Amino acid sequence: MSSELSILALYGLLIIVVVLLNVLTAMSQVGLMTLGGARDDMPALTGVAGRVERALTNSVVAMALFAPAVLILSAKDAFTSGSLLAAQIFLIARVVFVPVYAFAIPVPFLRTTVWLAGFLATAYLYLLAL
């Protein structure tokens, strides 16, 4: 398996961790009974729980963009040192993004800069895939 595919798998594991964090932080706000129900009337999550929920949504969107690029490169057997670097940048950016967002790290534009690094790395992978 290529390093890029391994990075894709590692990112999948990161999303699993964020799902668990989402459940735990949501449970602390609304309780197990609400989470175990239909959630039709679930109140909006706030604070850390709300930010973890939004980080999860953002992470799933990032996976939806990153995975096809890696899989196309794999199908074409077109991995390069550049694709490996881009995948590494993406993974590092996503690992940093979650706590920066969840805990509202008060550094101006840090979250946006980290997100942009991952996004541009993904865009580069698509350029390589053409």
3-129 in CATH: which number?
1.20.120.550
With cut-offs at 50, 70 and 90, classify the pLDDT of residue 13. very high
Distances (CA, A) of 124 to 55, 82, 106, 114, 130: 23, 9, 29, 16, 10
Determine the pLDDT at residue 14. 99
Determine the pLDDT at residue 55. 98
Provide the CA 80 distance to its chain's centre, in angstroms.
23
Distances (CA, A) of 27 to 31, 32, 43, 77, 102: 4, 5, 12, 44, 16
The tens digit of pLDDT for each residue in 71-93 reads 999 999 999 999 999 999 999 99
Determine the pLDDT at residue 35. 81
Are the C-beta atoms of residues 99 and 22 closer than 8 Å to each other?
Answer: no
Determine the pLDDT at residue 29. 86
What does the mean pLDDT of the chain come to?
A: 96
Determine the pLDDT at residue 8. 98
Determine the pLDDT at residue 97. 98
Write down the domain spans for the chain.
3-129
